[in-house]
Structures are given as structure tokens and as C-alpha cells.
Structure 1
Amino acid sequence: LYQSDHQLQIRTQSNLGYSVDGVNGGEFLKLALQQAGESAPHKLILYRLEGSRAELDLESLAADCEIVTRELGQLGDLTSLLADNLHEKQLLNLLQGEYLRVDKTTLQWRRWLPAAVLALLFIGLSIGSSIQEYNQYDRQSKLLHAQIRETFQQAFPEVKRIVDPRAQMEQRLKSLQRGQSGSFAQFASLFVPSASVIKNSPNTTLQNISFRDGQLNLQLTIKELQALETLKKTIESKRLTVEIRSANAADNKVTSHLRITGGS
């Protein structure tokens, strides 16, 4: 038992008990002892502070129960007394789970964790987007390089070793302009009117172009032989000389090789 000025606290077991107001404490304890019957304790220990004004009628509680009164010098003595009777294995640790004690550094880190996750996610998306753009540009560059190579091969089929098609094409064009492989003006005078006719000819595809020694050689596919003859006459109407070097019909189309020179 512990008696203060306003309360009477009663411990029934190691970790069980209750508290009642000081005025009715004596009657409540007396009734509890009567209800306990044979299981009522034979000894009660009453702790109270020195100078406490509350009085408990000990003699009227239970005639056959020994009551020992002990005075406490200060309230801290009661705390020490309670601590001495605690059993650690029976205690409930409240400092766990959400209530676990954490230091300030951990608490601040948890506070900034969502922002850090978002920042990492943004950086990851940026890097992923950059990699995707790089791969796209790389594919476009390779495709453009292949197209340049194909165009160079069509324009200059006599060149067997292709290292840098763009640089080689620029060199060839400069050579044409300087007249080292024929006059560029002569090439233009043959190719421009011929290309205009081929462009306006239906179902006609230009496959290969070469120019050498003042002669323009074109390899193309056309729908039929009659259309090839019509194409020849149309180019000749541009004051050019056209020679059909070959004409092979297969798969509903005609593959032909034309040689074009200046008109006489």
C-alpha cells in the first residue's frame, strides 16, 4: 500500500493494482479484504511520506492481518522502491516500432528521404532520356552514312575501295569541276535534261549513274520496252544522243542501260 494526502494506491500482484481516493480508501480496502476471504493476505505493508496528513484506520481493516507501516523521507524513495520490485522479463518495452528512440541525424535523414528519392528518380530519368536520345542519334548517323555510301556507289561504280564516302564524293566532285575526270559543265548538260525526263516518266526508277570521258551512263528500270523507246526519244528531243546498250525484261519490268552523249 502507498498512502498520500489524496490517494491510496494498492498493489495486488507484481504488476497489478489500483488507486482510490484517500477519503474512501480505508473502506474500499476493508471491503476488498472481506471479498478475498481465505485468499486475503496475512500481512500488509503501508508506505507513506513523513508528515502526510492522511490517516488510515489500520485497526478496523482486518483484525487477523498484520499491518506494517513504513515512513518514506521523500517521494524519490517510493520511486526507488518501485524500481527494486520490477522484473525486466515481465516489462513491456514501449521504445520500439514507431516509438523507437532515434538520434537527430536519423530523424533528419528520414525527413529528407522522400526528396532524395525523387531527386534520384529525376536523375535516373534524365540519364535514361539522354541515353535514348544518344542511341537515336547514333542510329540516324549510321543510316545517313549508309545512304551516303550507297549514293556514292551509284554515282561512281568504278570506285571499289570506299573509306570515307563523303570525303571521296567531295573529292570526285571537285575533280569534275576542275575537269580532271571530264567537264562538270558537260556532265550537267547531259544529266539535268535526262533526269528531268526520267522524273516525269511513270513507273521509271533510276538505279545507277556514271560519267566518264564525256559519256553519261544510266541504269534504270521501266515498265515495258515501248515505254523505254518513248523515254529514249524524249531524251533525244533535248538535243542529246541516246544509245540503248542493254534491255532485259523480267518480272513485269525492263532493266536497261542507256548511254547519253551530246548531240552532233
Structure 2
Amino acid sequence: MTEILLIRTGRTQQEKLNWLIFCTEQQEIIASGELPNVSHLEELAEKALSREVVVLLPSDQVQLKTVTLPTKWNRKLEQALPYMLEEDIACDIDDLFIATGASTLIDDKHAINVAITDRKWFEGWLAAFNEHDIVTYKILPDALLLPTPNEQALSVIELNNQWLCKQGDWRISIVEPLWLNDFLTALGNPDVAHYSPASQFPESVNLTAQTQAYDLPLALFARQLPEVKFNLRQGQYQLKKKTALWWGYWKGAAIAASVALVASVLVKTLELHQLSSEVGAAKEQVVERYKNAFPNKVVRPHLIKSQINGELDKLDGGNRTGFLELTNELVTVFNQVTEFTPETLRYDQRRNELRIRARGKDFQTFGKVKAILEQRGLSVDQGSLNNDGDFVVGEIRLRGAV
């Protein structure tokens, strides 16, 4: 994809939206503009068809926090994260959508970056874009795409008569011009690197004009996109299916892929025919060996398995639960419980007992195997089970009639 469409929303759906089409290969603006409100999104529907759409949300609607953790980030901590944040949140935690960013360290302690926004507000914007058939692949708070400033400094740019600010990798804000003095004082009067003219700042502030990077805010954000891996489209809001975008760009490749698919199907059909022939030859070989082993028996090819089992029963003294029968029962288990893997098999002929040492996904796996075997009328004893890293190992004793 060489072009992206950036759309910056307002706090409400009645406020204006900014948009910009950017060529990533040439690093240049293709087009840009504004929409009065969300009802005009249909004007961008056609532009979005062949481009990747990135939605930028006002940073004052997305709160970024870094949460200290008791241990390294894992799934259990992910489930507990809402309760860890509850004391710092004034509203009901269930009303919020919490997205996770990169794990980090704070004074040698494990931590995780999180972004928090109002769930209904977020879902409202998703619904608005869906209503106009605009597929959004990435959603970010706008100021996160400002260049990361030097330590103890601030990056700023003006958009819609507000100042978007970034301090460090995971600290952003939006400031009204009248609040600039108080805002900078609260931050300890940091140095300010500004990416648009900064005539509204107090004279006491140490300003550094990034004139070589002066551009439309959305163009600056487009250039910074590769530097930001975070995406609010995650969890239940993760994009589950990519639609057929960029057909005009990939039509030739799609046709070539279709031809390759047809050729692959033909090859697989030939291979299947060959395998069928090999299976037929194997069946004929089994029948021939049965005739050699039991020359006085009538052979019925479609019942050959039953005939072989019957002759083995006779050789085994009529005992249907010998070693072969017990191992045959295990085949059924392996077909039903794929996460159960045997490591060793030991057979006690005197007791007609088969001992299986195996590795399973968890304790429930062994219980499932035991239940299946008991349902088939066998006597099953389960030995001790132990954790072995991400697996569970243990022993099952399977007995037939003695």
C-alpha cells in the first residue's frame, strides 16, 4: 500500500473532521480537506476504498497511563488490569475500554502502557465509520504521532486552534491557548520543540522551531506512523476480516493466484488418484498375506480387519483384551484427544495390564482420556500427575480381563 487516508475526528460527531491522503513512497500529500461533521463521511467513502484508513482521535478523549506490575506482563495480569486501575478511575470501570500498549520498566519494576477511553464514545465512532462502509485499520490518539521529544522537553503542534502536546513516549495532551502558561508551569517549564508557528506561547518559554518539519499536522502524523506500533483496534474491537481493498492494485496478482490455485488443485487431484491406487495395492497385499497365513480360510476383503482380529483372538486363547486389543483402544483415544501424547508403553502379560506414561496439555486432558477408556468398558487407574513446564506428565494403567 502506497497511500493512506488519515481522518481526525472531533470530540463529538457534530464537530468538524480533518482528512488527508498521503503517499508513503513519495512522502507527499495527495489531497486534504475538512468535513463539517460526521454526516459528511460519505464524501470519503470512495477515497477509502483503495487506501488504508487511519483514524486519529482527540488526545483529550484518550488517557494514556503506565501501570506498575508485580511481575512480568502476562495473560493473568491482563485479566486483572481493570481492577488494578479501578482506584485511579472516577467512573465505573465497565464503562471504559482499556487497550494495552508496550510493556516497559519503571525503576527496574515491570510496567505496561495502557490507553483508556469511554467505551460508548469509542463504539459510536466505530459505528459511524461502519455506517459509511469505511474500514478503519488503525485508530490512535492524535498527539501520540508527534515526534518524541528530548528528555524534559515537549513536542507541540497546532490543530484547530488547539495545541497538541507530547512529553516522552507515552504522555500526551491537548491544551487550549489560554491554558498554555498554566500548563507549562505545571510541567516545570520544559523546553518546547514546535512544529508549527508558536506565537501564542509565553515569552519565558525556551522555544525551538522545527521549521524544516513545518507541515500540515496530519502530514506530520502520517510521516510518524511507522514509528508507532500501538493500535486501539484490539481485543473485541480488533478488525477480524480485511475487506477486498486495493482490487485495482492487485487485480493482476489475484488472477495469477487463481491460475496457480487451479494448477494446484489439478496436481492434488493427480496425487489423490495415485494415493488411491497405492491404497488399493496395499489392500491386495494384505489379502494375499492373509491367504498365505490362513490358507484354508475364505477371504472377504471388506471384512479383512475383522477376520484378522478373529484369528488373533484364537491365537491368544480367546482373550479379547490382550496387548493388541489394549493398544487398539488407545488409537481411539489418540484420535479424540490430540493433546495427549504417549512417551512409553509397558505391557504386563500376566496381569494383562498396559502402562502408558504420557504427556498432556493439562490435568483435564488425563481425566478426559480416563473417561473415554472407561466408557469403552475398560478398567483404568490413573497414577500421579506432575507439572513439567507447560505440560503435565503422568501414568495411566489400562487393564483388560485376565
Q: Same fold judged by TM-score > 0.5? A: no
Bigger Rg over Cα: 1
- TM-score where L is the length of structure 2: 0.20
Higher helix share: 1
Higher strand share: 2
- TM-score where L is the length of structure 1: 0.29
